Amino acid sequence: MSIPSETLSNAYRLMKTIREFEERVNAEIMNGQIPGFTHLYTGQEANAVGVCAHLDASDTIISTHRGHGHCIAKGADVSGMMKELFGSSEGLCKGKGGSMHVADIDKGILGANGIVAGGPPISVGSALAAKIRKNGKVAVSFSGDGSVNQGTCFEAMNMAVVLEVPAVFVIENNYYSEHTNISYAVGCDDLKARTEAFGFPVFVADGADFFAVYEAAGKAIDHARAGHGPAGVFAEQGRYHGHFVGDPQHYRGEGELDDLRENHDCLKNFRARMAETNELDAATLDAIDADVMAEIEQAVVDAKAAARPTAAQVTEDVYINYGAGA
């Protein structure tokens, strides 16, 4: 499979952007600059980017509590996201949502989601709209290995098959739901087979390998776009950080994190592949790295300087106001 070099450089840029965004967010949380509950996507960048590389702005995605990567991969404004995480009124959601609710509707980003498996049913609705409008759009939902055990996820998968809608279910197995391993929480031995039993094909990929995810997601999205009903992607790749920032990670085995960072790194893998094929040279990749670092630095500077929300904004966007209490 040959991939246009613009697609390649864009993919690398997005993966690097997610990586640096998350690492910087981690640091700013440690500095006490970012409030609330934040879940980092570091390590899993290739999943989001490999999937979203097949989408345009009018296809939709719906994300999870671990949503920064999906949003960046789908084209969310990085500076607006950073401002949102800092709680600024200039943030993508005016400081109302924060990390768990980053959304950019114009870019087809129907939101990160604080409710585990809140997203898949909504994605089926977006897919149903595409089917009714016959516009060839697809709706992608991301779900973790824990999220797939929620009734809403089962209902969405079955209904997508029944309604024959272009819904793509991306299952990201990072082996844990909070502190519980998939081997405990998913009762059967084969989550791919369980998912396929709903009646749609699921394509498996190594989530540390952009090319593998790109290929698997391409098949799933083509299937849905062509009107054959839903499809799935099953990508495996651990997260580098805890479930949330501050998680003591008692569940990790000896050497697990070192192994992940050493041997399962989508950026390293991407560079190694480029060194082999020469599709992009090292100087190009280095230049992207430098650009990204500067962009993230600027995003943080801007977020710190951005306007803060005022009390009057609390009751904006609620449709109905009764006035505050006493």
Partner 1 sequence: MSQKTMRDAINEALHQAMEQDESVFVIGEDVAGCNGSAGDVGAVGGVFGVTTGIYHRWPDRCIDTPISESAIVGAAAGAALVGMRPVAEIMFADFIGVCMDQIVNQMAKFRYMFGGKSRCPAVIRFSAGGGFSAAGQHSQAMYQVMTSFPGLKVVVPSNAYDAKGLLLTAIADDDPVLFFEPKILYQETCEVPDDPYTIPFGEANFVREGDDVTVVAFGQMVPKAAAAIDELAEEGISCDLIDPRTTSPLDEGAILESVAATGRLVVVDEAPPRCGLTADIAALAADKAFASLKGPIKQVCAPHSPTPFSPELEAAYLPDGNKIKAAIKATMG
Interacting residue ranges for partner 1, rule: CB under 8 A: 35-37, 87-89, 93, 95-98, 100-101, 113-118, 146-147, 149-152, 176-187, 249-254, 256, 308-311, 313-315, 318, 320-326
Residue 169 within binding range of ligand TPP, rule CB under 6 A? no
Q: Percent helix, strand, coil in the chain (nearest 5)? A: 50, 10, 40
> What does 154-174 look like in DSSP terms, one character per residue?
HHHHHHHHHHT--EEEEEEE-
SS3 at position 235: strand
What's the count of helices (H) and strands (E) in the chain, helices before strands?
Answer: 12, 7
Q: Mention every residue, 6+ apart, whose C-beta is less than 8 A from residue 2.
A: none
- Of the candidate spans 18-26, 173-181, 187-195, 216-224, the one that interacts with ligand TPP by CB under 6 A turns out to be 173-181
325 interacts with, out of ligand TPP, Mg ion, partner 1, none, CB within 5 to 8 A per kind: partner 1
**Nearer to ligand TPP by C-beta: 119 or 166?**
119
Residue 236 within binding range of Mg ion, rule CB under 5 A? no
Chain residues 165-184 in contact with Mg ion, contact rule CB under 5 A: 174, 177
Chain residues 124-153 in contact with Mg ion, contact rule CB under 5 A: 144-146
Residue 101 within binding range of ligand TPP, rule CB under 6 A? no
SS3 at position 220: helix
Chain residues 174-203 in contact with ligand TPP, contact rule CB under 6 A: 174, 176-178
Among 19, 54, 65, 107, binds ligand TPP (CB under 6 A): 65
Name residue, tokens 């999943």: 47
Name residue, tokens 């950080």: 241
Q: How far is the CB of 247 from partner 1 (least distance, A)?
A: 9
Specify the DSSP class assigned to residue 109.
Answer: B
Residue 114 within binding range of ligand TPP, rule CB under 6 A? yes
Distance between CA atoms of 320 and 12, rounded to whole angstroms?
45
Distance between CA atoms of 246 and 275, rounded to whole angstroms?
36
Contact set with Mg ion (CB under 5 A): 144-146, 174, 177
Contact set with ligand TPP (CB under 6 A): 64-66, 114-116, 144-147, 174, 176-178, 243
